[in-house]
Amino acid sequence: MKYTLTLAIVALTLDTAVASPLNVEARQQGSGAGPYAPGTYKTDNSLQGHTIYYPTKNTGSEKLPVLVWGNGACSTDGRSNSALLQNIASYGFLAIAEGGPNGGGSSNAQTMKQAIDWVTNNAGKGAYANVDASKIMAAGFSCGGVEAIDNIWDSRVDTIGVISSGLLSNTSAARDWRKPILFVLGGQGDIAFQNGERDFKNLAQGVPSWKGNIPVGHGGTLGDANGGRFGKAILNWMLWTMKGNTQAASYFTSGYQADGYQVETHDLNLPISSISQLSAIYPEMSTTIAIVSIGQMGLGIAQLLKAHDYRVITNISARSDATKSRAESAGIELFDTDEELVRSCDYILSIVPPRDAIATAKRVEVALANGRDRGGKQLYYLDLNAISPSTVKTMARSFEQNAPGLRFVDGGIIGGPPSPSESETNGWKRPSVPLSGPHPLHSAPVSGTHLAEVLNTRYLGAELGTASGLKCCFAALSKGFTALALQSFTTASSLGVLNPLLEYMDVYNIGARQKAERGVVGCTGKAYRWVEEMNQIGACFEEEGGWKGDAKVFREIASVFQGLADVVEREGKDEMGDVEGVVGVLGEGLRKERT
């Protein structure tokens, strides 16, 4: 059921009927006051290190939205806030606390993510058949609130609860949040008061949020029956945003007054009363993709991503003014340092000449080591360069050692840069992007499925090197053929038989002529990139194909492209607009080298 009343109308309607919406303390104490009380808890072997709170009464056909809860002091005692969580469960929710009952040790954002992953994998099955994985709130007290904030980037999380908490580092990050947020603070005596106040003020316009303050100090009333007044705000927020309960909604316009809250709000006077409507009005937080670097392919992919509402950033501080202007005209945001870049993005796409692939990966390693905390955001690194499987594996091992939290994806690009096309069903002509490795892009928590579709990816399996190997095999045929065409056409031109050669190709192999001409004319500006690519292909065929020394042919092909690159650098491309021009300039350049 969907509700379309504005909060303002709801408040006017309900204030005449109820003095204090959902007075949770008026019924039973300790094990919950909801219609499905008592709430209780258990552990499950499939979710080690967590405590699961659930209603003991049958909820019938009513689904259970989910709260994942982080404890104060990063505690892993799953009963730290049992009064609050049992009460929430009694209203028809599943609540998962970090840590087992009376557990020891400490938690982090990954501990909370484990609970989210578990919900995704188990909701709708067996004992959890009535759990609704489409409605998840991440919330927590103090350190647990920071963990909830860290998980705001997870696309499965619908809303956030920040309880006596706030950002500890990267304090401007709240400007990028785009999900409904509840702040409950304990007034000036709350050690997290200033943090929460600052984060609330930093929210962008249009983000629905409610901040309530009562002078009860850090953690406030969480230890009281049912979580006390803090618990009442949390419960009503969940009932409103995840169950569309209009009575609970009125708490945030007037009901809070009876509890002594000092309140500030953002954008709660809109026609919204459930997560389903919130998501229709407020888009997901813009997924941020860093592209290194903005060459022809990088620019095309950036334009494709921008057309699908992704935020694209890059660091081209060392590049020419023309490159910067090209990036800015495409709506790409420019950063001055790699540290800023890696802190701000969800994904890095490495699209550089093969000779620069390892150096680019090292730049990212150094930036991650030197930069500030990313606030729990998971970073994916997609190497889309034309390199051998062994180079990919070397790169992956280096990341594992020096940036262990990074998710490395092996990939390649087959085809030309993306471009708008009315003839394509999705409006774009796109290359194919094969991917492989243990971290599938389509399973990434932040827009992974959508991004994988937009980039036209094909997942080949969990083995690193599979995707890059496929790229090598494909390029050996396409670019290897171009190298043969360069030699054939240049030699024919020197002999004065280029036109007869082309005429014979028209008769006996017209497809080969068209492909050869496209390759010869199109490779002049790319030859310098292809030199190392040929070396990488040779390494792939030697190591993976068993060709050993026979793969040295690709070192010779690399020399062909190096020769063309040298001529282009020396003579320019002005006279290389067609086959005759390319082979004429190249042939003359080769003759000069011989003499």
Tens digit of pLDDT for each residue in 433-443? 999 999 999 98
Examine the pLDDT at 20 and tell me if it is beyond 60: no
d(CA 14, CA 250): 7
pLDDT bin (cut points 50, 70, 90) of residue 371 is confident
Give the Cα separation of 579 and 127 in Å (integer).
69
Q: Are 593 and 511 in contact (CB under 8 A)?
A: no
Q: What is the mean pLDDT of residues 401-430?
A: 91
450 vs 129, residue with greater confidence: 129
* Rg of the chain over all Cα atoms, to the nearest angstrom: 30
For residue 429, what are its two tokens? 């002509």
DSSP code for 494? H
Q: Which residue in 43, 49, 41 sits closest to 70, CA to CA?
A: 49
How large is the average pLDDT for residues 205-231? 94
Spatial distance between the Cα atoms of 62 and 124, rounded to a whole number of angstroms? 12
In this prediction, residue 5 carries a pLDDT of 28
Q: What is the mean pLDDT of residues 267-277?
A: 54
**pLDDT band with cut points at 50, 70 and 90 for residue 173:** confident
| Model pLDDT, residue 326 | 85
Report pLDDT for 311: 87
- pLDDT in the model for residue 16: 28
Nearest to 308, CA basis, from 446, 426, 440: 426
Give the pLDDT confidence score for residue 1 in this predicted structure: 24
Q: What is the mean pLDDT of residues 7-33?
A: 38
pLDDT band with cut points at 50, 70 and 90 for residue 269:
low
- Find out whether 389 and 544 touch, Cβ atoms under 8 Å: yes
- Tell me which residue of 446, 425, 444 sits closest to 435, measured CA to CA: 444
The pTM of the full predicted model, rounded to 2 decimals, is 0.58
pLDDT tens digits, one per residue of 227-247: 999 999 999 999 999 998 989
Statement: residue 503 has pLDDT above 50: yes
The pLDDT of residue 32: 92
Confidence of residue 285 (pLDDT cuts 50, 70, 90): low
Domains 7-281 and 288-464 are alike in CATH topology:
yes
Give the mean pLDDT of 169-180: 79
Q: What pLDDT, on a 0 to 100 scale, did the predictor assign at position 181?
A: 96
Structure confidence at residue 375 as a pLDDT band (50, 70, 90):
low
Query: What is the average pLDDT across 39-46?
Result: 96
pLDDT at 394 over 70: yes
What is the structure's pLDDT at 589?
Answer: 87
Across the range 494-519, mean pLDDT stands at: 94
Q: Which residues lie closer than 8 Å to 559 by C-beta, 6 or more apart?
A: none
Higher pLDDT, 509 or 318: 509
For residue 319, name the pLDDT band (cuts at 50, 70, 90): confident
Q: Would you kindly state where each structural domain of the chain is located, as residue ranges? A: 7-281, 288-464, 470-594
Two tokens at 240? 């409103």
Tell me which residue has tokens 């954008």.
267
Question: d(Cα 138, Cα 103) in Å, to the nearest integer?
Answer: 20
Q: H/E element holding 94?
A: strand 94-98
Pick the CATH number of 288-464 from 3.30.70.1170, 1.10.10.60, 3.40.190.10, 3.40.50.720: 3.40.50.720
Percent of the chain beyond pLDDT 70? 91
- Region 589-595 average pLDDT: 80
The helices-and-strands tally (H runs, E runs) of the chain is 20, 19
What CA–CA distance (Å, rounded) separates 144 from 161?
10
Distance separating alpha carbons of residues 561 and 559, to the nearest angstrom: 5
> Is the per-residue pLDDT at 125 higher than 80?
yes
108-120 pLDDT, tens digit each: 988 999 999 999 9
- Confidence band of 287 (pLDDT split at 50, 70, 90): confident
pLDDT band at residue 373 under the 50/70/90 scheme: low
Contact status, residue 538 vs residue 475, Cβ threshold 8 Å: no
7-281 CATH, one of 3.40.718.10, 3.40.50.970, 3.40.50.1820, 2.130.10.30: 3.40.50.1820
What is the per-residue pLDDT for 376? 65
The average confidence (pLDDT) of the chain is 88
CATH architecture label of 470-594: Orthogonal Bundle (1.10)
Sign of CA dihedral 115, 128, 100, 85: positive
User: For residue 357, what are the CA distances in angstroms to 296, 362, 465?
Assistant: 16, 9, 14
pLDDT value at 279 more than 80: no
Q: How far is CA 63 from CA 92, 112, 124, 182, 200, in A?
A: 8, 22, 10, 22, 31
Average pLDDT over residues 176-201: 94
CB 47 within 8 A of CB 118: yes
Of the pLDDT bands very low, low, confident and very high (cuts 50, 70, 90), residue 56 is very high
Taken as a whole, the chain contains a residue count of 595
- How much of the chain, in percent, has pLDDT values that exceed 90? 72
Alpha-carbon 156 to chain mean position: 12
- pLDDT value of position 372: 63
Distance separating alpha carbons of residues 133 and 124, to the nearest angstrom: 8
pLDDT at 347: 97
Which range among 6-15, 376-385, 475-484 has the greatest average pLDDT?
475-484
* Euclidean distance between CA atoms 133 and 96, whole angstroms: 13
Provide the terminal-to-terminal Cα distance of the chain, rounded to the nearest Å.
Answer: 84
| Token pair in block for residue 498 | 């280029």
Pairing assessment for the beta strands 209-213 and 311-314 based on DSSP bridges: unpaired
List, in order, residues 6 or more apart from 150 with CB less than 8 Å away.
109, 112, 375, 376, 377
Q: How far apart are CA 319 and CA 312, in angstroms?
A: 17
In this predicted structure, the answer to whether residue 12 has a pLDDT above a threshold of 60 is: no
The least confident of 7-21, 301-315, 514-528 is 7-21
Q: How confident is the model at residue 162 (pLDDT cuts 50, 70, 90)?
A: very high
